Amino acid sequence: MVWWESLVASAGGVVGLLLFLSPARAVLRARSERVLGDLNPLPFPTIAANCAGWVAYGYVTTDVLVLWPNVAGFLLGMFYTMSCYGLADTKTRDRQIAIVLLFSTALMVVGSVGTLGHLSQDHLKTLWGFTANAILLLFYASPLSTVVEVVRSRSSDSLHLPLSVMNIINGSLWLVYGLAITDYFIAVPNGVGALLGVVYCALICAFPRKRSKRSPANSEAGASSRRELVSSTSGEAVLGGEEPVAAAEGHV
């Protein structure tokens, strides 16, 4: 039975890593185009905080199958957070800062209680188990902040399909693993996460994306093209000299 549990946990670790990698393409595109577009950056600091909590839980329970995927997830979460911070508006930046400070404070407080309270191994497991559970549920629920907008606009632009699908797979595998080793700190929140993933995927299917993401350069080029079209149709286009060359160079 041990080999089966290890197999499921290993699969969960791989899928968990893929879950943390799923926003990478969107984040790298945002970095390249220097525009955030419809990418919601608020789940990213939650990814880092969630993984930090599970890293602590992995240390306490000496479960390497929990530990190492979350080490990688923490580093990715920090990369996503810092990448999107510079592209976000002031309101979103303030929210990111608030989330980072909130989770950092919570983890420091829990760590201090565990260290200064001289708790037993079982008590430390319970303490970090509840902490990791609370943060994980917040991570799974973080896209809920945009669900009202999705229903109102009838467009799922702010929901990320790969992340939602990976939530289902990841949550289901860790649910099975948690039940197999009778660790409800692992089973319960991941079961909820899998269910929320189903809800997000249903919303994406019900309300397809409407807007395409464009960089400011593309938008400016499109605006220039429209202005030139208007000028041409109104008889004001420049037919000679260097001005048409300058206009063409502006589109390169």
Burial 151-171 (b: 16+ CB within 10 A, else e): eeeebbbbbbeebbbbbbbbb
If one compares 229 and 162, the residue with the highest pLDDT of the two is: 162
Residue 6 pLDDT > 70, yes or no?
A: yes
Note the pLDDT of residue 2: 67
What is the DSSP secondary structure assignment for residue 88, as one 8-state letter?
Answer: S
55: nearest Cα among 2, 103, 120: 103
Note the pLDDT of residue 23: 85
Residue 81 pLDDT > 70, yes or no?
A: yes
Give the tens place of pLDDT for each residue, 185-195. 999 998 998 99
Check: pTM over 0.85? Answer yes or no. Answer: no
Residue range 79-105: average pLDDT? 93
Quick one: pLDDT band at residue 210, thresholds 50, 70, 90?
confident
Residue range 19-44: average pLDDT? 87
Q: What is the mean pLDDT of the chain?
A: 79
Note the pLDDT of residue 108: 93
Quick one: pLDDT band at residue 3, thresholds 50, 70, 90?
low
The three-state DSSP-derived secondary structure of the chain is: CHHHHHHHHHHHHHHHHHHHHCCHHHHHHHHHHCCCCCCCCCHHHHHHHHHHHHHHHHHHHCCHHHHHHHHHHHHHHHHHHHHHHCCCCHHHHHHHHHHHHHHHHHHHHHHHHHHHCCCCHHHHHHHHHHHHHHHHHHHHHHHHHHHHHHHHHCCCCCCCHHHHHHHHHHHHHHHHHHHHCCCHHHHHHHHHHHHHHHHHHHHHHHCCCCCCCCCHHHHHHHHHHHHHHHHHHCCCCCCCCCHHHHHHHCCC
Note the pLDDT of residue 53: 94
